[in-house]
Amino acid sequence: MSALGYSFIDLGLLQTALTHPSANTRKNNQRLEFLGDAVLQLVISELLYNSSKEAEGKLTFKRQRLVNEQTLAQVARGIQLGEHLVLGRHFAQDGGQELDSVLADALEAVLAAIYFDGGLEAAAAVVHQLFHQLITEASASLDAKGALQAHFQGLGEEEPVYIDLASEGPPHRRVFTVAVKQNGRLLATGTDTTKRSAQQRAAKAAMDNIRKGGGQP
């Protein structure tokens, strides 16, 4: 694992971090994954805190974009982590090493292994190396869903949730309608040709209502 830029003293830690539960139900990377998530959250949070004067809501949103499953899997693929995983035979035959969830979990486990092997400073150095470009490119602007989430986080309130209301039309011309609610209140609805874009429309409508109402939907 030269791509990590770190040399393990205890190779057994690395081996455990690379072992999926399908290969060994007793000694696998699940516990390391639990700790690695916390290590990654801490290091990314500190990096964002030190690199920006943005408010909590925006920092939280940027952190979520950096540590979500898809981003972790992207980073894992960048260092060919999947090629080093130890998987059960059938799971490997089914392409388990390509799953975002498997790659993300393994990356977190590896970070925990580095933490145990070399301490927080060593783990932080690896996170800096692997995530530096992503942090540099992280957009400070928020899309509609992110802006709505940041609004309520800034107020210390529950995050908004999105509820599917309708799906109409033939499969190739489907139209989705989505509602966005917060603490049981209907904020707005949105309709578009994909669920994601319908959610964005609902979030934008909710933010428009908030701005018109002086902060309340």
Q: What is the CATH number of the domain that holds 160?
A: 3.30.160.20
Per-residue pLDDT band for 196 (boundaries 50, 70, 90) equals: confident
Looking at the fold, whether 109 and 206 belong to one and the same domain comes out as no
Coil, strand, or helix at residue 51?
Answer: helix
Write the pLDDT tens digit of every residue in 48-78.
999 888 888 778 878 888 898 888 999 999 9
**What's the CA gap between 136 and 159, in Å, rounded?**
27
Q: Where does the chain have alpha helices with state H?
A: 11-17, 30-51, 56-67, 69-78, 89-93, 100-118, 120-137, 144-154, 195-212
Number of domains composing the chain? 2
Round to whole Å and give the CA distance between 148 and 120. Answer: 34
Residues 150 and 133 grouped into a single domain: no
Q: What is the pLDDT of residues 24-47, one digit of tens each?
A: 999 999 999 999 999 999 999 999
Q: Which of 33, 46, 105, 108 is catalytic?
A: 108
Co-location of 111 and 199 in the same domain: no
Two tokens, residue 41: 């959250």
| pLDDT on residue 215 | 46
113 and 9 in a single domain? The answer is yes
Residues 128 and 200 in one domain: no
| Residue in this structure with the two tokens 């950096």, named with its chain if needed | 66
Is the residue at 22 inside a domain?
yes
**Spatial CB neighbours of 40, under 8 Å, sequence gap ≥ 6:** 67, 108, 111, 127
If asked whether residues 102 and 177 sit together in one domain, one would say: no
User: Which structural domain, as residue segments, surrounds residue 185?
Assistant: 144-212
Q: How far apart are CA 111 and CA 164, in angstroms?
A: 37
3-state secondary structure of 185: strand
Question: Is 61 among the domain residues?
Answer: yes
Q: Which of 37, 54, 98, 137 is catalytic?
A: 37
Q: Does residue 187 share a domain with residue 110? A: no
| Residue 182 and residue 104 share a domain | no
Return the half-sphere exposure (C-beta side, CA atoms, 13 A cut-off) of residue 75: 28
Do 11 and 108 fall within a single domain? yes
Same-domain check for residues 161 and 129? no
Give the separation between CA 56 and CA 206, rounded to whole angstroms: 21
Q: Judge whether 217 lies within some domain.
A: no
Which contacts of 187-190 are long-range, i.e. CB under 8 A and separated by 24 or more positions? 187/148, 187/160, 187/217, 188/217, 189/165
Regarding whether 197 and 149 lie in a shared domain, the answer is: yes
Residues 15 and 117 in one domain: yes
CA pair distance 186, 155, nearest whole angstrom: 18
Indicate which CATH number applies to the domain containing 36. 1.10.1520.10
Which of 115, 137, 159 lies at the terminal end of a domain, its last residue? Answer: 137
**pLDDT single digits (tens) 156-181:** 889 899 999 999 988 767 899 999 99
108 is catalytic: yes
